[in-house]
Amino acid sequence: MFPMCVETVYGPIKRSNRDRLLRHAVGRCPVVDLKIGGVNVSCLLDTGSQVSTISEHFFKELNVKCNAVELDLMEDGTNYQDLLHEMTGQKTVPNVFINKKHIGSCDNTMKAHKDGDLQKLLGEGSKAYDCDLIVIGGGSGGLACSKEAAALGKKVMVLDYVVPTPKGTTWGLGGTCVNVGCIPKKLMHQTALLGTAVEDARKFGWEFSDQVTHNWETMRTAVNNYIGSLNWGYRVSLRDKNVNYVNAYAEFVEPHKIKATNKRGKEMFYTAAKFVLATGERPRHLGIPGDKEYCITSDDLFSLPYCPRKTLVVGASYVALECGGFLAGLGLDVTVMVRSILLRGFDQDMANRAGDHMETHGVKFLRKFVPTKIEQLEAGTPGRLKVTAKSTESDEIIEGEYNTNW
C-alpha cells in the first residue's frame, strides 16, 4: 500500500521521480499503512530519534494510528528528504501530514493540537457515533466514570440493567454496594445493634415492661425506602451532568455498536467511539440439586419480604459472616457452614477471633462440610428445607432442617 502513502504524503510528483522512488521504496520501506475512521495520518521520521518518538507516542495517546515512514532506513531516504524540503521548506523530521495537509514538525503538531486545529483535521472523514462514550454498568465505578467524562465535554450514555434473580429480585440504579451490599448491610447491622443497646439499657436503669421484639417487615420497608432515595439521587445527578441514562441490557453486536433491550423487550441500538465495562459481579449458586429453586443469595436477602427465621449460611467470606452476624443480632437462629477456613485471604489469627466472637453471640459453625442437596419439606414464607451435606475430610453425611438457606 506504499504507493498510496506516497501519493497522500507528497502530492503530485513528476512521474519519472515518483516511479524511481517507488521502485526503491516498495518492499524496502518499513511502513505501517493504517487508517482510522477514514483519516490518513503520515509521520516521516528517523528511527530512534527522540523527537520522532515523541511524535509517535503523541498520536498513540490520541488513539490515532499513523503511517510511520522511517526515512533513514530507506535506500533512497536522502532523495525523499530533498523532495520534502522542496515541497514544504522543512529540513528536519518528523514531518507530519494529515489528510494531504502538511502540519510540520513536532512543535507544529503540538501547537495545532493546543489550538484545536489538529482535532478538526483528525475529525474529517471520521465516522459519526451516537456517543463519545458508553458506560455499561451503573454502579459506583460506572457512575463516577460517566460523570467525569461528561465534565470533560464528552457525550456520554450509561446503560444499567439488573437481570432478576431466580427469586425475581431486582433493584434500581447504583450497583451492588447501594442496593444489595454495603448500604443495606450497614443499616441491618445497625438495627441489630439497636436491639443489643435496648437490652443493655436495663442494666443502666432503663425500665420498660414489654418484651423487646423485632418486626422484619418494618425494617425491610425502612431500608428499601432509604435505598430508593439513593437510586433517585443518582438519576438526578446523571441528568444534572448531562449523562443519558438508559435502563436496558446491553450486548455488543459490532465493535462500536450495542443492542439495548429494556424490561419490556424493546430493542434499541447505539454506537460509541469508546466503551467502558463496569458491570461488577453477581453471587454464584452452589450448582447442586435444589439450589436455585429453594436458596436465596445476598441479592435477595436485603429485600426479602418475610423474616428468614432459622437460617443456614453457606460460606465463610466476609459477606457471609457479616450477614450471619446481623441475622443473629436480630434474634434469629443462624448456622454458618464452612468448607475450609474463615475469611480466606485474611489474617487467620483475626479471622478465628472473629469466629470465636460470633460463637459467643449465638452463631453456630459447621466446619469442614459442603452442601450436596437442598429439598423442600414444606412450602411457605419461609417454609421448611432439608439440607444434606458431606464432610470435606471423610465420608460423613449430615442432614439438617432450616427455614432459609443462604
106: left (phi over 0), alpha (psi -120 to 50) or beta: alpha
**Is the full-model pTM beyond 0.75?**
no
Per-residue pLDDT of the chain (406 residues; tens, 9 = 90+): 323 232 233 333 344 444 444 334 333 333 333 333 345 666 766 655 655 565 667 777 777 777 777 777 777 778 877 888 888 888 787 888 887 788 888 888 888 877 777 766 776 545 689 999 999 999 999 999 999 999 999 999 999 999 999 999 999 999 999 999 999 999 999 999 999 999 899 899 998 887 889 999 999 999 999 999 999 999 999 999 999 999 999 999 999 999 999 999 999 999 999 999 999 999 999 999 999 999 999 999 999 999 999 999 999 999 999 999 999 999 999 999 999 999 999 999 999 999 999 999 999 999 999 999 999 999 999 999 999 999 999 999 999 999 998 8
**Grid cell of 91 as nine digits:** 529540513
Helix axes 2-10, 77-88, angle to 10 degrees: 30
- Summarize pLDDT for 98-134 with one digit per residue, the tens: 877 888 888 888 888 777 777 667 765 456 899 999 9
Eight-class DSSP state of 284 = P
Eight-class DSSP state of 163 = P
- Residue positions counted in the chain: 406
User: Cβ neighbours of residue 49 under 8 Å, at least 6 residues apart?
Assistant: 93, 94
3-state secondary structure of 251: strand
Nearest to 102 by CA among 115, 87, 92, 91: 87
**Grid cell of 184 as nine digits:** 443495606
User: Cβ neighbours of residue 76 under 8 Å, at least 6 residues apart?
Assistant: 20, 21, 24, 25
User: Cβ neighbours of residue 297 under 8 Å, at least 6 residues apart?
Assistant: 165, 283, 285, 406
